[in-house]
Amino acid sequence: MSDAPAAQSPWQTVTIARIEKRTPRVTSFFLQPSRPFAYRAGQHVDVRLTAPDGYQARRSYSIASAPEAGETIELAIERLDDGEISPFFHDIAAVGDEVELRGPLGGHFVWSDSDGGPLLLVGGGSGVVPLMAMIRHRAARRSAVPVALVFSARVWDEVIFRDELIDVHDRRDGFDLVLALTREAARRPSDYSRRVDAAMMEQSMLRLPAPPRFAFVCGSNAFVSAAAQALIDAGVPANLIRTERYGV
């Protein structure tokens, strides 16, 4: 993600209001800003930590909550053993602690129900987080925009927001969930036990009533490159594909 500052987004103090474990390596932190702000589904924030010696570490995290969720924002943070930020959150941070945050940031990888659809969302691992904000925004607006989410994870227990996504899928209100497990057999008949590819994209698009108006892809560099190419090979025009890349 870009670390470029937004002109109207100064640093502010936020307080950890709640902590919720999502998977063995991903935990959600619900943050209460000292100066609440509006944002769009898909945007991100910068988080900054300052050590006693003055050293500062900063990282960008997508917002998982919907814009309609209120003043508290949710960040789903994956533990990276060699990271500078995530070990603090996973090993030290507690409810009531304060950190610095700046945002919202980003204007390219965003969606509102007024933008229309259908939407094809493709997420790899923690790359599902900004897509989850879009799904939650759709639900909060009671939107009828058709959405299909292709979510790639290594195993069933690493599917972030799994129960919530299955619940939304089971409503049969125009949202379809497709899971692609790369290191484990699929648990549901409609899911896959392989990496994303063009055939999977073609089959997932059949769940939509019309070709996607937008396709959003988020994950690691390698995942995004492979998924975007799979979409193009499946016939999605490149100009309809918006991508967000995490790390290397």
In this predicted structure, what is the pLDDT of residue 6? Answer: 43
pLDDT for 9 equals 81
Q: How far apart are CA 124 and CA 171, in angstroms?
A: 24
Task: Work out the mean pLDDT of the chain and round it to a whole number.
Answer: 94
CATH of 12-105, one of 2.60.120.460, 2.60.40.680, 2.40.30.10, 2.70.98.90: 2.40.30.10
Give the model confidence (pLDDT) of 134-181 as tens digits: 999 999 999 999 999 999 999 999 999 999 999 999 999 999 999 999
Instruction: Let me know: does 112 contact 133? Beta carbons within 8 Å.
Output: no
* Domain range list for the chain: 12-105, 113-246
Residue-wise pLDDT tens digits, 38-88? 999 999 999 999 988 999 999 999 999 999 999 999 999 999 988 899 999
**Model pLDDT for residues 82-131, shown as the tens digit of each residue:** 889 999 999 999 999 999 999 999 999 999 999 999 999 999 999 999 99
Cα–Cα distances (Å) from 236 to 150, 174, 176, 198, 229, in that order, read 15, 20, 18, 10, 9
- The pLDDT, as a whole number, for residue 237 is 97
Question: For residue 133, which of 100, 109, 166 has the smallest C-alpha distance?
Answer: 109
pLDDT of residue 247: 63
CATH architecture of the domain formed by 113-246? 3-Layer(aba) Sandwich (3.40)
- pLDDT of res. 2: 39
Interatomic CA distance for residues 233 and 231, integer angstroms: 5
pLDDT at 1: 46
